[in-house]
Chain A
């Protein structure tokens, strides 16, 4: 059974600096890893994904890195902005399924 772990419940970063959010997983079988952002009283919003055959994917200020040997992925946000303050979830999907397995989330605070 795949487990997805976000070991840091919170992270504080100065505006303009880099935010690095981390996620570890246990099972090598997956199709995609995805990152979602969630504001209070709203549903999660998709940010970026990476397929199992890649090790990096970029979209504007967001870059996701996948290290399959370490079973680790990270989300880099550069530069960080106050509007990025939210809870970030990593999630995995497998075998063409829409079932997502989420980590517990990391609360990012970007300080102006």
Chain B
């Protein structure tokens, strides 16, 4: 079974631009979460989607948004990019059968490395 795939793997943008990142979960997985990893802040939760609905949202400004499609694929968008948005963006998917990642393994993709110049 194919793992979580994220596209593109690397991206370079300039300040003020916007960017869209894509995540394809493992087949059959219905929950998709997004995380940002930076050297200073570590891994931080952005949001989680299930059945095209955002179930949880982390403490990020409104410039960060996402959506999930009927096939469970997800996209996240960052508008008006800032230098501090340079990070590794990780997507994770789960079956969502046990109500949480303790009983239901989350599988992470390799991430998209975003560089903002």
Contact = CB atoms under 8 A, between A and B. Distances in A.
Given A45-B108, A46-B107, A99 B90 contact: no
A89 interface: yes
B55 interface: yes
A105 B109 CA distance: 18
Interface string B56-74: 1010000000000000000
Interface string A80-112: 000000000101010111111111110000000
A87 to B, nearest CB: 10
- Give the most central of A32, A97, A101: most B CB within 10 Å: A97
A79 interface: no
B101 interface: yes
B75 interface: no
B4 A43 contact: yes
Given A46-B106, A99-B58, A104 B42 contact: yes
Contact of B108 (A41, A43, A98, A103): A43
A62 to B, nearest CB: 14
Interface residues of A, number: 26
26 contacts: A31-B100, A31-B102, A32-B102, A32-B103, A34-B101, A43-B92, A43-B110, A44-B43, A44-B90, A46-B106, A49-B101, A49-B102, A49-B103, A51-B103, A91-B43, A93-B100, A93-B101, A95-B100, A98-B55, A98-B56, A99-B45, A99-B48, A100-B33, A100-B45, A102-B42, A105-B42
Interface of B: 4, 31, 33, 35, 42-45, 48, 55-56, 58, 90, 92, 94, 96, 99-103, 105-111
